[in-house]
Amino acid sequence: MTTLTHSLPAGGSARHLLRYLSDIFEGIREGLDAKQAYTTLDQLSDEELSSRGLRREDLPAAVLSGRIAA
């Protein structure tokens, strides 16, 4: 699992707060996209994965690295 550590800006303006929240939601979206890609690929047969140049044991690393999408 990828972990995001982000500090709340001290004494920042509303613009900084909005940027902070935007970054958090972007991270959530990326995580959900990765989950969907993994779930879709995990449902494929080994032969279908092989035709995409993938092995089942490589799926987590391939999805998280952004090398592939569903």
Q: If 0-12 CB within 10 Å is exposed, 13-18 middle and 19+ buried, where does residue 41 land?
A: buried
What tens digit of pLDDT does each residue of 14-38 get?
Answer: 888 899 999 999 999 999 999 999 9
The per-residue pLDDT for 8 is: 60
Percent of the chain with pLDDT over 70: 80
Q: Judge whether residue 46 has pLDDT over 90.
A: yes
pTM: 0.70
Amino acid in position 10: A
Asked if residues 70 and 37 have their Cβ atoms less than 8 Å apart, the reply is yes
**Rounded Cα gap, residues 48 and 53, in angstroms:** 9
Confidence of residue 41 (pLDDT cuts 50, 70, 90): very high
Domain boundaries of the chain, sorted by first residue: 32-70
Phi, psi (5° rounding) for residue 28? Answer: -65, -45
